[in-house]
Amino acid sequence: MIRIDQEQCTYCLLCLKRCPAAAIKDEDEGLRIDVAACTYCSVCTSCCPNQAIIMKDRAQETRQPYPEHEGICLVVEHAEGALSSYFPELVTAAKQLQAMRAQRIYALVVGERIEDLAQRLLQWGVDEVWMVNKPGIQRYAEDIHYNLISAVLRDQRPSVVLGMATAWGRSIFPRVAVRLRTGLCADCIDLKMGPNHGDFIITRPTQMGEQFAEIKIPARRPQMATVKTNFYSAAETAHVAQGKIVDLSSLYSCSSSVLQFMGVIEEAAGKENIETTEIIVAAGRGIQNADNLRLIYALADALGGKVAVTRPLVECGWMDSMHQVGLTGKMVKPKLYIACGVSGAVQHKVGMHHSETIIAINTDRNAPIFDYSTYGIVGDLFTVIPEILSALNTVQEVGR
């Protein structure tokens, strides 16, 4: 509860000027706080020279159960009906939350000609698919997407909304959160559900990836989070689809998009997609210069893998950011990750430590990468990689 004590207020208007949410209204009877707009940031209580703004019983208020908000809604990313390969990870996250506290799981999908997709979504064991299927909701019409997604979420009132932290998710979810006047925890790596209604606990990296924050959202609904890709394992489809499709198409209209689709750049579309490859050879600053990357490519080619890099190499312009692994790059979990001249800083580790097997080649035996590698080779990559290549050659020749 927040209110202004009119008897203490001297009408200096300091609070009105400072309120970042424009929640303080100047009305005939005096100043009034619009509680729907107030974010409880405490700016006004701190700046008021007369302690005229009273904010109390906040703890009690934030424990309100929000009984009208129920269930977990997964917002579905797709490309003209082709389901995002990350959706099974989102299902795993939701099922784990459901195992912690029983609740329904919904999938929200908007697009055109998506009847088949809606049908296929049921195979993932969701209770309901909320479908808005209308002509004109094209793949890149993100303004239409977030308008519709916001409208459906406002009407259907799930307690938790989850999406993947993909390029699409990063574009859509902040805008949806603003529309719904709620918060968004982005790039989360762990989700938990407490025993009480509304106890949703989110873990995400903070302090430049050095620490992890546990976040609760007591005072706003829905509780929104995007999940980092490649952190959850992919769920299997349910054997028997028991849910139902709820067609909401007639309830919503959509205007034309202000965005114009220009085309797809092939590499971004997946040719060099390091997120789905089984073998990655990664180069760090130990590679010394861009020319030497040829050695990394040679090893990747010999193994049938792809090349990734640490952030400094992208910053030097030696490689484009599509190949960067880590906190501000891609999350990968290949079967084999060979880190060459990579120190293993936590911001890099967070993007690759779920790899099945990690081999590190580093001249410094105390490099942090050795702490989480399956195998470590203390040595000069300019010696070790040619030796591996020649061993692979020998193996191939023997096999002929």
Ligand X SMILES: Cc1cc2nc3c(=O)[nH]c(=O)nc-3n(C[C@H](O)[C@H](O)[C@H](O)COP(=O)(O)OP(=O)(O)OC[C@H]3O[C@@H](n4cnc5c(N)ncnc54)[C@H](O)[C@@H]3O)c2cc1C
Nearer to ligand SF4, 24 or 225 (CB): 24
Give min distance, CB of 321 to ligand X, in A: 9
Render 10-37 in DSSP notation, one character per residue.
----HHHHH-TT--EEEETTEEEE-TTT
Task: Return the closest-CA partner of residue 77 out of 139, 11, 158.
Answer: 139
Residue 101 gets which letter from DSSP?
S
Rounded distance, CA 342 to CA 165, Å?
25
Stretch 6-45: interaction string toward ligand SF4, x if CB under 6 A: ---xxxxxxx---x-x-xx------x-x----xxxxxxx-
Instruction: Tell me if 39 is assigned to a ligand binding site.
Output: no
Angle at 309 between CA 307 and CA 312, to 5 degrees: 160
Quote the tokens at residue 132: 């808005």
Which residue type is seen at 284? Answer: G
Binding of ligand X by 376 (CB under 6 A): no
Interface positions, 303-362, toward ligand X (CB under 6 A): 310-312, 324-329, 341-343, 345, 347-348, 351, 361-362
Residues 193-252 that bind ligand X (CB under 6 A): 208-209
238 part of the interface to ligand SF4, by CB under 6 A: no
Instruction: Report whether 150 belongs to an annotated binding site.
Output: no
Interaction residues for ligand SF4, span 44-103 (CB under 6 A): 44, 48, 50, 52-53
* 281 strand-pairing partners: 307, 338
Instruction: Name the burial class of residue 175, with classes exposed (0-12), middle (13-18) and buried (19+) by CB atoms within 10 angstroms of its CB.
Output: middle
DSSP state of 344: -
**Can residue 373 be called a binding residue for ligand X (CB under 6 A)?**
no
Contact assessment for residue 245 and residue 118, using Cβ atoms and an 8 Å cutoff: yes
| Nearest residue (CB) to ligand SF4, 1 versus 79 | 1
Binding site for ligand X (CB under 6 A): 208-209, 284-286, 310-312, 324-329, 341-343, 345, 347-348, 351, 361-364, 367, 380-382
Binding site for ligand SF4 (CB under 6 A): 2, 4, 9-15, 19, 21, 23-24, 31, 33, 38-44, 48, 50, 52-53
Annotated binding site for FAD: 285, 310-311, 324-328, 341-348, 362
